[in-house]
Structure 1
Amino acid sequence: MTSLGVLLVMVNLGALNVALPAIARHFHTGAALSNWILLSYMVVNTVLILVFGQFSDAFGRKMLYLLGMAAFTVMSFVVGFAQNIWLFILFRALQAAGGALIITNNTALITDAFPEAKLSSGLAANVLISSVAQLVGPVVGGVIASTLGWQWVFWSTVPIGVVGVVWGWFTLRHLPSQGSGRRIDTLGGAVTFVALSALIIALSEGSSLGWTAPLVLGGLVLFALLVPLLIWVEQRTHTPMFDFSLFANRAYAMANVATFLNSFARVSVVLLVSLYLQSLLHVDAFFAGISVLPVTVGMIVAAPLTGPLANRFSARILSTTGLGISAVGLILLMGGLRVHLSASLNDSGMFLVGFGSGLFMTPNTRSIMTGVPPERRGFANGLRSMLQNMGQVLSTAVSMTIITSILPLRLQNVVYTGTSGTLPAKDMALIDTGYRLAFLALLAATLAGMAASSLRGESGSPTHPGG
């Protein structure tokens, strides 16, 4: 049942990545607003995931999960009627709030329901469903955007949401957390909301406004000022949202760092390849969706292997190996993505990125979720999901900044919406260089993730979840 929520969210996100050029053309948006078609969801979702984590620990998970499913479904219907780009961004932000409730409670519900011996299998099944959703998403987005229109990219997920709400109401067990009745850290949540919003907006706008723009600098300064305030507030609160004592566990801390870096390195691969094919090589949305499938196929192949392997080998070994495989895939992509595409390098590179990420996720998630007391699983999953989303937001912002930073203004919009003609070889070479530099940044993050994963140490036997 919980996997249906993942299916709903991931199909929607995957479809939007491929449908982005069609939406940008429909609303006649430039580079800055096109960026917010993607980031409006990610900003709100990322900020609220962590804030909602404490609600999960305080009030239980079932009703909050179903509320998120209902909200996401309603907004999936409404967003298709947006009359301008500002309404579109507003509706996507509201949809993101529903998605935050789904993601915050999803993994925590699984961890509550499965005994420790079977938890890896439960988490692996969830990763498998998520991977299938990512496989279906780009295809659905490509087919629907090129035939029925971008609106149906959202409307097509409404039946999934309706089924999920009804099914969940009757089948989900009420499993209140052991922390039920815990007081909500209102001040800590408010400071966190403002601080993360400032950071994400600054990072998001840096690629379009420039890193010295007042909005960008103001956001970074505000974040820097609020972090010490948050630490001060949390140390003086009886029921803090942030339990800093958890990070004294090196395995837990390094697993969270690796989560962020893996997300940063993987998420932009589908977006970058899809944009390159559509905007520069004039490939239609359907074929672009098909072309990025090797990433998800790799995750699907890896998912059923990780459950049994996680019971035999430590998270340190499996997760570090997975990141290493992803690094090899990124190296192949740096050589394969060019005007005269190397299909073998591209497909192999995307498959390895997906396979490596799939091998990484299950043992790393198990290490995080079983490394905290049961009454803090809502926070632990909220933090893990927030770091994943922060990786996605930063990955999108940094990747697009790297690509456009070396381009003249006349070529920057081409990266998002394409051009009706063929670009001169000199311009294409410049854009190709931007894309290779972006993939180089993703490779650097992957190597840093390998270092973090290996530094978590061996905290027990291979079957110990914190290993």
Structure 2
Amino acid sequence: MADGQKTQSITVSLGAFSFVTALSGASVTLALPRMAQAFDVSATLSTQVVQVGLITTVIFLVMFGHAGDVFSKNAVYRAGGWVFIIGSLLTGLAPSFMGVLVGRFVQAIGSAMVMANAMGIINEHFSDKERSKALAYNSMFISVGSISGPAVGGLITSILSWRWIFLLNVPVAILIMVWAKNAFPRPKLSIAAIREQASHVNWVGQVIFSIGIVLMFSSSWIKIPGLDQFTNLMVFLIGGGIVTALSFLQDDFAPSPWIAPQVLRNVTFLTSTSVLFLAMFVNSFSNILLPFYLQDYLPFSPGQSGLIVAVQSVVMLMLSPFVGRLAANPARRLNLVTIGLIMLLVSQIGYAFYGGQVGLGYILWPIIVNGIGMAFTLTPNNSITMGLVSPKLAGVAGSMNSLFRTIGMAVGISFATNFLYAQLPGVKHITRGLGTTYLHASRVVFYVAVFASLVALIVNVWRTVTSKSEM
């Protein structure tokens, strides 16, 4: 296969699977209100369908990124695709809410295997100039999936059942994996070689990291006597965060670290991934709260809500090629991220002042600005991040980038939902009858998003100034 054909095949293969995972993720969010009703669980508990997937992905991301570097990115990527398919099937056929969570756990392991190696594969096969375009195309596939997800999810939930949101993944993902066989040839790995490499892995660090991540999100399952909901959340978030930080410290001194010390000690790299974390943290607020606001507080159907939420992804899709071309010039990337974070900040101010009006213009403008902000932030920031490491560390660097992205989403969802309902004691479902009580609680939540956006903007301006001073 010629180099041009190979890179094109890789781009399409990675993009197609990114489309499926984005479609699944966006569909799930829109279906949460109906799933809560189907299993008679609270709106807060129903968000665990999203959280379990995100938490599991976070736990395994770096490990599978390291596995891709040690063994084969192609092998881990392909195996992950099939695990994702099995998880989708289990979730769609689950007889209980706990069964849904188990299926999501399996599905997320597959997603982690795929995500941890996707950016590394791009880094291996594309030059710095072409990498931005490849990342932009991948973002386009993600945007298409995100666009289709709300609309398809809302339609399926209205006509059939939320179960088909997961079951439809199966035949589509199988076709992609079969077609991608030539793009990602699997190397021959002996059992002896796998055992030899596995014996040197820092399993202690991985266990500590896993415990820390689980603790961060245990507030929905474990209640400390005497603490209110929000305090309980913060205790677990901070405590789990400390344990997670200790896992990185332990790994840095381990004989065989699962995160390369060159990556962990690269301040510029960590600054870049921190900006990504904050952007995803902020963006997750609207992603998780808007479906409940539109379907339960305002009189929109799941299908209508899906189309409204999809506007953000439509905007990202339209802008991604343009931003990708601009980001091909390294000198522009930091300024593009600054523009994106300013737009993200403005959008959160718009969400904070949502009220009871149902006018589309009133509802859509923050969503549109949010889409512009994320389009200008993600691709340039990803290009900056992956340009800071050597190709041999692309796997672990890509998985670290995906780790910060996913953990930002997970922390954002957990914080937004728990903080909202902490202000609404005794409320199980959002209804129009809550009136201004709900609107005030939602406004306070988005004030936090405004503050986090401002912090991200300050960090990015700081790295822009310091990078210029080093020239």
Superposition deviation, residue 81 in structure 1: 1.4
SS in 2 for 1:120: helix
Superposition deviation, residue 401 in structure 1: 2.2
2:344 to 319, 326, 339: 326
Superposition deviation, residue 92 in structure 1: 0.8
State the AA in 2 paired with 1:210: Q
Q: Does 1:281 align with 2:298?
A: yes
Task: Give the distance between the partners of 1:101 and 1:373, measured in 2 at CA.
Answer: 21
1:317 to 335, 342, 347: 335
Task: Give the distance between the partners of 2:221 and 2:374, measured in 1 at CA.
Answer: 24
Q: Does 1:107 align with 2:115?
A: no
Task: Give the distance between the partners of 2:118 and 2:247, measured in 1 at CA.
Answer: 30
Q: Which is further off, 127-136 or 152-161? A: 152-161
State the AA in 1 paired with 2:338: T
Which residues in structure 2 correspond to 1:72-111 (within 5 Å)?
72-111=84-123
Superposition deviation, residue 45 in structure 1: 1.2
Aligned pair in 2 of structure 1 residues 206, 360: CA closer, same or farther (>3 Å)? farther
Contact 1:79/1:88 (CA < 8 Å) preserved in 2?
yes
Q: Does 1:436 align with 2:443?
A: yes
Contact 2:273/2:404 (CA < 8 Å) preserved in 1?
yes
Superposition deviation, residue 146 in structure 1: 0.5
Task: Give the distance between the partners of 1:406 and 1:216, measured in 2 at CA.
Answer: 14
- Counterpart in the other structure of 2:398: 381
2:429 to 383, 389, 414: 414
Superposition deviation, residue 211 in structure 1: 4.3
Aligned pair in 2 of structure 1 residues 245, 455: CA closer, same or farther (>3 Å)? farther
Contact 1:203/1:394 (CA < 8 Å) preserved in 2?
no
Q: Which 5+ residue runs of structure 2 have no aligned equivalent?
A: 1-12, 189-193
Superposition deviation, residue 196 in structure 1: 1.7
Q: Does 1:143 align with 2:155?
A: yes
Task: Give the distance between the partners of 2:312 and 2:223, measured in 1 at CA.
Answer: 28
Contact 2:19/2:141 (CA < 8 Å) preserved in 1?
yes
Aligned pair in 2 of structure 1 residues 295, 32: CA closer, same or farther (>3 Å)? closer
State the AA in 2 paired with 1:154: F
Deviations 1:302-328 (A, max 9, x none): 201112211334321111111111212
Superposition deviation, residue 103 in structure 1: 0.8
Superposition deviation, residue 245 in structure 1: 4.0
Contact 1:52/1:104 (CA < 8 Å) preserved in 2?
yes
Q: Which is further off, 216-225 or 278-287? A: 216-225
Task: Give the distance between the partners of 1:77 and 1:225, measured in 2 at CA.
Answer: 34
Q: Does 1:454 align with 2:471?
A: no
- Counterpart in the other structure of 2:132: 120
Deviations 1:271-314 (A, max 9, x none): 22211011112421101101112211221122011122113343
Q: Which is further off, 100-109 or 164-173? A: 164-173
Task: Give the distance between the partners of 1:83 and 1:58, measured in 2 at CA.
Answer: 39
Task: Give the distance between the partners of 1:37 and 1:351, measured in 2 at CA.
Answer: 27
Superposition deviation, residue 85 in structure 1: 0.8
Task: Give the distance between the partners of 2:241 and 2:279, measured in 1 at CA.
Answer: 23
- Counterpart in the other structure of 2:171: 159
- Counterpart in the other structure of 1:42: 54
Task: Give the distance between the partners of 1:187 and 1:374, measured in 2 at CA.
Answer: 27
Which residues in structure 2 correspond to 1:261-276 (within 5 Å)?
261-276=278-293
Contact 1:201/1:216 (CA < 8 Å) preserved in 2?
no
Contact 1:22/1:150 (CA < 8 Å) preserved in 2?
yes
Superposition deviation, residue 51 in structure 1: 2.1
- Counterpart in the other structure of 1:366: 383
Superposition deviation, residue 353 in structure 1: 0.6
Superposition deviation, residue 253 in structure 1: 2.2
Q: Does 1:20 align with 2:38?
A: no
State the AA in 1 paired with 2:53: Y
Aligned pair in 2 of structure 1 residues 226, 97: CA closer, same or farther (>3 Å)? closer
Task: Give the distance between the partners of 1:170 and 1:273, measured in 2 at CA.
Answer: 41
Task: Give the distance between the partners of 2:466 and 2:16, measured in 1 at CA.
Answer: 34
State the AA in 2 paired with 1:447: L
Q: Which is further off, 249-258 or 379-388? A: 249-258
2:70 to 58, 61, 65: 58
Q: Which 5+ residue runs of structure 1 have no aligned equivalent?
A: none
Task: Give the distance between the partners of 2:237 and 2:460, measured in 1 at CA.
Answer: 30
Q: Which is further off, 57-66 or 165-174? A: 165-174
State the AA in 1 paired with 2:229: G
SS in 2 for 1:413: coil
State the AA in 2 paired with 1:449: A
State the AA in 2 paired with 1:394: V
Q: Does 1:131 align with 2:143?
A: yes
Task: Give the distance between the partners of 1:330 and 1:446, measured in 2 at CA.
Answer: 8
Aligned-residue sequence identity (percent) comes to 21
- Counterpart in the other structure of 1:404: 421
Which residues in structure 2 correspond to 1:1-12 (within 5 Å)?
1-12=13-24
SS in 2 for 1:172: coil
Q: Does 1:304 align with 2:287?
A: no
- Counterpart in the other structure of 1:224: 242
Aligned pair in 2 of structure 1 residues 34, 115: CA closer, same or farther (>3 Å)? same
Q: Which is further off, 97-106 or 305-314? A: 305-314
Contact 1:318/1:363 (CA < 8 Å) preserved in 2?
yes
Q: Which is further off, 238-247 or 16-25? A: 238-247
Contact 1:332/1:345 (CA < 8 Å) preserved in 2?
no
Aligned pair in 2 of structure 1 residues 46, 195: CA closer, same or farther (>3 Å)? same
State the AA in 1 paired with 2:391: P
Task: Give the distance between the partners of 2:177 and 2:429, measured in 1 at CA.
Answer: 41
Task: Give the distance between the partners of 1:247 and 1:229, measured in 2 at CA.
Answer: 12
- Counterpart in the other structure of 1:210: 229
SS in 2 for 1:171: coil
2:374 to 349, 357, 360: 357
Task: Give the distance between the partners of 2:411 and 2:282, measured in 1 at CA.
Answer: 10
Task: Give the distance between the partners of 2:211 and 2:229, measured in 1 at CA.
Answer: 22
SS in 1 for 2:284: helix
| Matched positions, count | 447
Contact 1:107/1:381 (CA < 8 Å) preserved in 2?
yes
User: TM-score by structure 2 length?
Assistant: 0.88
Contact 1:261/1:449 (CA < 8 Å) preserved in 2?
yes
Task: Give the distance between the partners of 2:212 and 2:136, measured in 1 at CA.
Answer: 33
Superposition deviation, residue 343 in structure 1: 2.2
Task: Give the distance between the partners of 1:199 and 1:314, measured in 2 at CA.
Answer: 36
Q: Which is further off, 160-169 or 194-203? A: 194-203
SS in 1 for 2:371: helix
Deviations 1:225-256 (A, max 9, x none): 5633651x324323312334435544322211
Task: Give the distance between the partners of 2:126 and 2:269, measured in 1 at CA.
Answer: 20
Superposition deviation, residue 434 in structure 1: 1.2
Task: Give the distance between the partners of 1:236 and 1:329, measured in 2 at CA.
Answer: 42
